[in-house]
């Protein structure tokens, strides 16, 4: 049959296409074409024959023609390989000596809308996209070793390749060697790659000895927005240990925002953090300290908003505006801790909290958890220093104060001190009423300060000196000053004569800073961390000279037993300032305000409190 001109052209075109395809198959190996697709990911990749494939991935099949096409077109995924979707973690049990294999498909990487990413510089063109891979170990085999420091199971390993044959063999004897992958650290791993094609992720559980029982359990995730499981390696702590007593401890996060327009939004939401606490003597969390799901299984105390619903719970957490600056923070208040014990508190920003944060910034949801450096804190042996917080008037006070269990519980003790300070402040208000605060600029006491500045500075000073910071009498803090040595402890016992009698000869050690403490609280002997001198200087700088407020200078007798000075290293609380945490912060080396125009002695106004 004679072909029409159109049919002849179609036949010629088809023949030419078939010739080109045949020539391509003769000249190029499918393996070479695929390996070149993502060279940076596969430094240990080796070519594997079709016969070897059945041994490595049972049930998988090899088709040379299909390997010429992208899997996003053919839909082919080897048996036993799990597809990872962006921002959707997958969990699995893994026996020692085996490997689990995951695949991030090329069409997932090229479809930026799947994650909602707005980072145009990372679109899936020539240079590829940056893929963030992370995993956490949730459980690990346990040792039958009963010693105080048992042997830990070895950490899982992560392998990355553009071929399942190289990174995800089911036979551990054919798996990549230890140096070819990345070993988990304390139950966590983070690995970023520049991906131009599909990416295989292998999680390998090492072999363990017969002394171990159980399996590994892990969670793995891929994201284009950042690591889904993130561990922050910063040197400073996000969680601050404020203070503790024999059974209680108060810890507070740094400010959640310092943008006044953002305060109400944060306060209307669920607290963003959870806290995992374990006694230092316990090895329960060893090997899993960087893993959120691992801590959930092993930490001795888990503190989040659900803890508040437990009537007999040992911890309460809430958002608060109390403390320096008046910005939102999340505080954790522990009770029923062991005396004379040291603990590690590991703060975690929950996955749903980081997702909300991203949405507020115009980003996307689905970003996972963030785990921070552990904060160490400890309890003391003495019982006459008690942590107080949430005071109504002195709202920046968050530390241990001289107490008496026989007369006050923590709530009653806080109210007693707060009421006393409020009463003293009323005396100051009467003095300030004599100052023309509402006068015009030419009649004011200062063009740089207002009466509101004076009132705030005086309130801070008043609360700090009327509610002294307390340490156990046996504390080894060299900056602690012995107070109330002549009084009996709440249980009725006195200091030994040889220790008490020399202290009774010292006016500043015989009694407390003010008579209210000795007469109403009756805590017995304790040590006071003296207020920082700059608290006093701030009053002088902000208030009118007419009120007669003055501060002693270093070298004067009144200074040495009334105020302390900040140290440079921040290794201990050398003096007390509202919000001064026991966790070292950058405030420790802060310079005090200039002493220009300061008076030389204690004034009548300052002495009102001490009378």
Question: If you average pLDDT over residues 570-588, what whole number do you get?
Answer: 76
Q: How far apart are CA 521 and CA 328, in angstroms?
A: 32
Question: Which of 37-41, 172-176, 258-262, 421-425 is predicted with the least confidence, judged by mean pLDDT?
Answer: 37-41
Length of the chain equals 611
Which residue in this structure is represented by tokens 């503190």? 303
Closest listed residue to residue 481, CA positions, set 447, 457, 505, 511 = 511
d(CA 529, CA 562): 10
| Residue 418: per-residue pLDDT | 97
Residue 172, token pair as written in the block: 């551990």
**CA dihedral sign of residues 41, 47, 50, 53:** negative
Out of 231-240, 522-531, 577-586, which region has the weakest mean confidence (pLDDT)?
577-586
When mean pLDDT is compared over 36-40, 215-219, 303-307, the highest value belongs to 215-219
Q: What is the pLDDT of residue 325?
A: 80
What is the Cα–Cα distance from 298 to 290, expressed in whole angstroms? 12
The CA distance from 258 to 261, in Å, is 9
89, 445, 546 from 440: Cα distances, Å: 64, 10, 18
461, 479 contact by CB (below 8 A): no
Beta strands in 394-531 (DSSP E): 399-402, 469-471, 480-483, 526-529
* Percent of all residues in the chain with a pLDDT value above 90, rounded to a whole number: 56
On average, the pLDDT of the chain sits at 80
| Least trusted range by pLDDT, from 71-75, 261-265, 389-393 | 71-75
Give 471's pLDDT tier (boundaries 50, 70, 90).
very high
What ranges in 343-435 are assigned the alpha helix state H? 351-360, 410-432
pLDDT surpasses 50 at 477: yes
Angle between helices 410-432 and 451-466 (to 10 degrees): 140
What radius of gyration do the chain's Cα atoms show?
33
Contact 243/378 with Cβ under 8 angstroms? Answer: no
Residue of 158, 120, 206 lying closest to 41 (CA atoms): 158
- Give the model's pLDDT for residue 436: 82
pLDDT tens for 390-408 read 999 999 999 999 999 999 9
pLDDT grade for 579, boundaries at 50, 70 and 90? confident
Q: How far apart are CA 69 and CA 594, in angstroms?
A: 74
Which domains does the chain show, CATH number per domain? 81-109+129-231 (2.60.120), 232-355+365-379 (2.60.40.10), 390-585 (no CATH)
What's the confidence (pLDDT) of residue 60?
34
What is the spatial distance between Cα 587 and Cα 147, in angstroms, rounded to a whole number?
A: 42
State the residue for tokens 């966790």. 583
What pLDDT is attached to residue 473? 95
**Nearest-angstrom CA–CA distance, 369 and 389:** 29
Which burial class, exposed, middle or buried, applies to 556 when counting CB atoms under 10 A from its CB (0-12, 13-18, 19+)? Answer: middle
Identify the bridge partners of residue 200 per DSSP, sorted by sequence position.
103, 161
- The predicted pLDDT at position 312 comes to 62
Which of 176-185, 280-289, 398-407, 410-419 has the lowest average pLDDT?
Answer: 176-185
- 191 pLDDT more than 70: yes
Please give the structure tokens belonging to residue 114. 């799947």
- Predicted local confidence at residue 45, as pLDDT: 33
Q: Return the beta strands (E) in 391-484 as ranges.
A: 399-402, 469-471, 480-483
**What per-residue confidence (pLDDT) applies to 230?**
94
pLDDT in tens, 343-378: 999 999 998 755 555 444 433 344 789 999 999 999
CB of 44 closer than 8 Å to CB of 176: yes
Burial of 4: CB neighbours in 10 Å, binned 0-12, 13-18, 19+:
exposed
- The pLDDT assigned to 148 comes to 65
Residue 425 in this model has a pLDDT that exceeds 50: yes
At 181, the pLDDT band (50, 70, 90 cuts) reads confident
- Residues 6 or more apart whose CB falls under 8 angstroms from that of 282 comprise 300
- pLDDT (mean) for 307-323: 81
For residue 133, which of 170, 175, 89, 180 has the smallest C-alpha distance?
Answer: 89
More confident residue, 322 or 250: 250
Residue 49 has pLDDT above 60, yes or no: no
């Amino acid at each position: 049959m004679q072909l029409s001109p159109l049919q002849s052209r179609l036949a010629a075109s088809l023949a030419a296409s078939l010739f080109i395809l045949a020539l391509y198959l003769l000249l190029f190996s499918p393996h070479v074409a695929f390996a070149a697709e993502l060279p940076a990911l596969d430094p240990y990749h080796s070519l594997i024959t079709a016969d070897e494939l059945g041994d490595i991935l049972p049930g998988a099949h090899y088709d040379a023609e299909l390997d010429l096409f992208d899997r996003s077109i053919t839909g082919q995924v080897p048996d036993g390989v799990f597809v990872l979707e962006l921002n959707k973690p997958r969990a699995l049990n893994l026996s020692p000596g085996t490997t689990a294999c995951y695949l991030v498909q090329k069409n997932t990487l090229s479809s930026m809308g799947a994650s909602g990413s707005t980072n145009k510089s990372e679109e899936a063109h020539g240079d590829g996209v940056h893929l963030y891979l992370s995993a956490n170990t949730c459980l690990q085999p346990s040792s039958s070793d009963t010693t105080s420091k048992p042997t830990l199971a070895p950490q899982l390993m992560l392998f990355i390749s553009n071929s399942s044959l190289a990174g995800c063999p089911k036979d551990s004897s054919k798996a990549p060697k230890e140096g070819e992958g990345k070993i988990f650290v304390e139950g966590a791993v983070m690995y970023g790659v520049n991906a131009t094609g599909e990416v295989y992720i292998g999680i390998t559980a090492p072999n363990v000895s017969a002394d171990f029982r159980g399996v590994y359990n892990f969670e793995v995730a891929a994201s284009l927005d950042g690591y889904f499981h993130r561990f922050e390696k910063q040197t400073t702590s996000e969680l601050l240990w404020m203070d503790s007593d024999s059974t209680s401890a108060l810890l507070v996060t740094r400010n959640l925002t310092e943008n006044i327009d953002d305060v109400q939004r944060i306060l209307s939401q669920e607290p963003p953090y959870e806290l995992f606490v374990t006694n230092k003597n316990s090895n329960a969390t060893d090997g899993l300290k960087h893993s959120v799901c691992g801590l959930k299984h092993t930490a001795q105390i888990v503190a989040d908003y659900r803890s508040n619903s437990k009537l007999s719970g040992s911890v309460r957490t809430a958002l608060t505006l109390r403390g320096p600056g008046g910005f939102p923070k999340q505080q954790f208040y522990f009770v029923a801790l062991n005396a004379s014990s040291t603990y590690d508190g590991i703060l975690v920003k929950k996955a749903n909290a980081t997702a909300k944060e991203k949405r507020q910034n115009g980003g996307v949801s689905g970003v996972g958890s963030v785990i921070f450096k552990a904060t160490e804190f400890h309890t003391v042996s003495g019982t006459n220093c008690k942590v107080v917080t949430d005071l109504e008037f002195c709202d920046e006070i968050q530390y241990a104060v001289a107490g008496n269990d026989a007369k006050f519980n923590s709530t009653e003790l806080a109210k007693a001190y707060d009421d006393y300070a409020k009463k003293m402040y009323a005396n100051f208000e009467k003095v300030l009423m004599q100052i023309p605060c509402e006068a015009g600029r030419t009649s004011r006491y200062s063009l740089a300060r207002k009466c509101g500045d004076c009132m705030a500075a005086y309130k801070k000073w008043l609360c700090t000196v009327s509610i002294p910071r307390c340490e156990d009498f046996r504390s080894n803090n060299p900056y602690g000053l012995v107070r109330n040595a002549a009084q009996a402890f709440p249980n009725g016992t006195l200091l030994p004569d040889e220790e008490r009698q020399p202290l009774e000869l010292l006016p500043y050690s015989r009694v407390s800073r003010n008579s209210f403490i000795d007469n109403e609280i009756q805590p017995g002997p304790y040590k006071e961390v003296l207020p920082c001198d700059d608290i006093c200087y701030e009053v002088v700088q902000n208030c009118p000279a007419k009120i007669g407020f003055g501060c002693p200078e270093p070298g004067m007798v009144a200074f040495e037993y009334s105020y302390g000075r900040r140290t440079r290293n921040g290794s201990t609380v050398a003096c007390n300032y509202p919000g001064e945490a026991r966790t070292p912060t950058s405030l420790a080396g802060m310079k005090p305000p200039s002493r220009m125009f300061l008076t030389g002695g204690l004034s009548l106004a300052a002495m009102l409190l001490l009378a």
